[in-house]
């Protein structure tokens, strides 16, 4: 089996058996993003406590790349600090520009490196990560609000 075939298997496995599928009971942030170029939808729920992502779950519909990327993303950031997750978002963006591979998070993430060669599919892969970035912005705003109340 070539590396390319192996990566395809990893992506299809996440698509068929998405990790962290569903909703967070008491989310700090909820984000819905739509990718019109492919028709992908991602609904992301994130719970953040004391600067750490305690839970990340998603629902969605769309192509295998978009859903597998969401599955790998939620698997990666579960238990991460918000700062570390933001750095991972930045390095995932770099990987989608063909600039190296990510060094943190789920080891399955490297399976998406080949997507960089297909600009149309890059939007599919980035959808969940854009949703995460938005959710973390929301969550940090919420924490600030809590701080002011205290």
Site for Zn ion, rule CB under 5 A: 38, 40, 62-63, 66, 124
H and E: helices and strands count for the chain: 4, 3
Do residues 48 and 77 lie in contact, with contact meaning Cβ atoms separated by under 8 Å? no
Residue number with CB closer to Zn ion (34 or 49) = 34
CB of 67 to Zn ion, least distance (A): 8
Closest separation between CB of residue 3 and Zn ion, Å? Answer: 22
* Identity of the residue, 10 or 80, whose beta carbon is nearer to Zn ion in the bound complex: 10
CB of 38 to Zn ion, least distance (A): 3
Element (H, E) at 124: helix 119-149
Q: Is 61 helix (H, G, I), strand (E, B) or coil?
A: strand
Q: Which is nearer to Zn ion, 29 or 58 (CB)?
A: 58
In whole angstroms, give the CA distance from residue 111 to residue 69.
Answer: 10
Residue 53 CB, nearest distance to Zn ion (Å)? 24
> Nearest approach, Cβ of 61 to Zn ion (angstroms)?
10
**Which C-beta is closer to Zn ion: that of 15 or that of 106?**
15
User: Rounded CA gap, 56 and 73, in Å?
Assistant: 9
Burial class (CB in 10 A: 0-12, 13-18, 19+), 130: middle
- Alpha-carbon distance of 103 to 54, in angstroms, equals 21
Task: Using the minimum distance from each CB to Zn ion, give the nearer residue, 124 or 136.
Answer: 124
């Amino acid at each position: 089996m070539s590396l390319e075939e192996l990566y395809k298997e990893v992506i299809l496995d996440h698509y068929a058996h998405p990790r962290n599928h569903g909703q967070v009971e008491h989310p700090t942030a909820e984000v819905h993003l739509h990718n019109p170029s492919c028709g992908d939808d991602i609904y992301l729920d994130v719970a953040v406590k004391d600067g750490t992502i305690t839970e990340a779950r998603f629902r969605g519909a769309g192509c295998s790349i978009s859903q597998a990327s969401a599955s790998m993303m939620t698997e990666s950031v579960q238990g991460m600090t918000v700062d570390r997750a933001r750095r991972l978002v930045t390095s995932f963006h770099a990987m989608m520009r063909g600039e190296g591979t990510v060094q943190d998070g789920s080891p399955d993430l490297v399976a998406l490196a080949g997507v960089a060669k297909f600009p149309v599919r890059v939007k599919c892969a980035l959808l969940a990560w854009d949703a995460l970035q938005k959710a973390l912005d929301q969550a940090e705003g919420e924490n600030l609000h809590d701080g002011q109340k205290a």
